[in-house]
């Protein structure tokens, strides 16, 4: 195998630099605003990126933006595996574990039911249901990477990220008040926070705003939901491979899904030093924000505004169904 020359490497990667740099600058700006105003970084990355949409068609930026929104995204998803261990999952108990799995399955199923009600295609149903059920923006990005694309995929992905991030922020404020009014215990509140809020950052914010004990339980429950991401991706890939669709080509398990699962296993076995895991998690966060920034730049606000109320109704319905199911599970003693 011939080793690429420096000139060949330059010709291959230099065209990516302007677009990647633009996405990185947008991501840094989003991080700065989010850190100073305690706001969701993913949402700011999208909004700031959209302001630079006029650069999306510039041939100097287009290759790097596509690379950032696809390749960097997948690498960021792989590194998410450094945040999860099977020990965290085992500490929850069989009943709680089974309840979380059931909530994920029922929420995704709700997405397909809502798709029928609101006349939306299966791609959008799976994208919204999966993101609400698992881990918000990160799940949306991962699911969008394994389903067949069409002309609406990127627009639907960006809408899903915006909507679940917005709803997570609202939930971070309202859910702690609701769970306190219901008079729930720390373990019950922690379960509900971790099982119903979409994004990890908002779960942490909501949980620790109640108490340290609630925050600890909420974080573990949330990480269990994140740990189900590669399982759901594998199921999606196998389901698509088993169907004869005109828009489905040869479907196989993506390498980034395998990488995610392998890194999770390595971390669970204790082979990943804590310092390395910390760097991997931080790098993953940056890569996902950069990918979202690139997607934001590539998104036309006019297209987003034309989506209509049915898109909003689907995500809100899925979110409320998940909340009702989780509260019911706590009330009948299945979890918490």
Residue 326 confidence (pLDDT): 94
Residue 103 confidence (pLDDT): 95
- Segments of the chain with pLDDT less than 70: 1-11, 84-92, 201, 242-254, 257, 300-307, 336
State how far the Cα of 79 lies from the Cα of 105, in Å rounded to an integer. 24
Give the 3-state secondary structure percentages of the chain, helix then strand then coil, rounded to 5: 80, 0, 20
Nearest to 227 by CA among 206, 253, 200: 200
Kindly report the CA angle at 205 between 138 and 269, in degrees rounded to 5?
A: 55
Residue 250 confidence (pLDDT): 46
Residue 298 confidence (pLDDT): 79
What does the pLDDT look like over 186-212, one tens digit per residue? 889 999 999 999 877 678 778 877 887
Residue 211 confidence (pLDDT): 82
Phi, psi of 122 (to 5 degrees): -60, -30
Q: Give residue limits of the domains in the chain.
A: 15-331
Q: pTM of the predicted model, to two decimals?
A: 0.69
Residue 246 confidence (pLDDT): 45
State how far the Cα of 189 lies from the Cα of 23, in Å rounded to an integer. 38
CA distances from 263 to 161, 201, 230, 234 (A): 25, 21, 11, 16
Residue 10 confidence (pLDDT): 67
């Amino acid at each position: 195998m011939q080793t690429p020359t420096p000139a060949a490497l330059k010709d291959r990667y230099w065209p990516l630099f302007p677009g990647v740099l633009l996405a990185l600058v947008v991501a840094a700006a989003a991080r700065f605003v989010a850190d100073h105003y305690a706001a969701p970084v993913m949402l700011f990355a999208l909004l700031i990126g959209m302001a630079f949409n006029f650069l999306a068609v510039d041939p100097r930026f287009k290759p790097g933006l596509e690379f950032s929104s696809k390749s960097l995204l997948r690498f960021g998803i792989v590194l998410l595996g450094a945040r999860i261990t099977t020990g965290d999952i085992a500490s929850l108990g069989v009943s709680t574990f089974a309840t979380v799995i059931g909530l994920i399955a029922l929420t995704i199923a709700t997405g397909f039911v809502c798709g029928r009600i609101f006349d939306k295609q299966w791609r959008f149903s799976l994208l919204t249901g999966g993101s609400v059920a698992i881990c918000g923006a990160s799940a949306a990005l991962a699911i969008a990477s394994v389903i067949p694309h069409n002309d609406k995929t990127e627009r639907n992905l960006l809408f899903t990220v915006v909507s679940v991030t917005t709803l997570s922020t609202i939930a971070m404020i309202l859910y702690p008040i609701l769970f306190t009014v219901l008079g729930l215990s720390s373990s019950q509140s922690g379960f509900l926070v971790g099982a119903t809020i979409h994004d990890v950052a908002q779960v942490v914010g909501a949980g620790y705003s109640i108490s340290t004990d609630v925050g600890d339980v909420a974080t573990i429950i949330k990480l269990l939901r994140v740990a189900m991401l590669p399982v759901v991706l594998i199921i999606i890939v196998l389901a698509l491979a088993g169907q004869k669709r005109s828009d489905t080509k040869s479907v196989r398990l993506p390498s980034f899904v395998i990488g995610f699962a392998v890194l999770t296993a390595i971390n669970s076995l204790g082979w990943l030093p804590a310092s390395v895991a910390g760097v991997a998690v931080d790098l993953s966060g940056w890569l996902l924000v950069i990918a979202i920034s690139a997607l934001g730049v590539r998104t036309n606000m006019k297209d987003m505004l034309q989506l209509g109320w049915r898109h909003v109704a689907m995500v809100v319905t899925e979110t409320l169904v998940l909340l009702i199911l989780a509260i019911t599970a706590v009330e009948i003693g299945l979890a918490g």
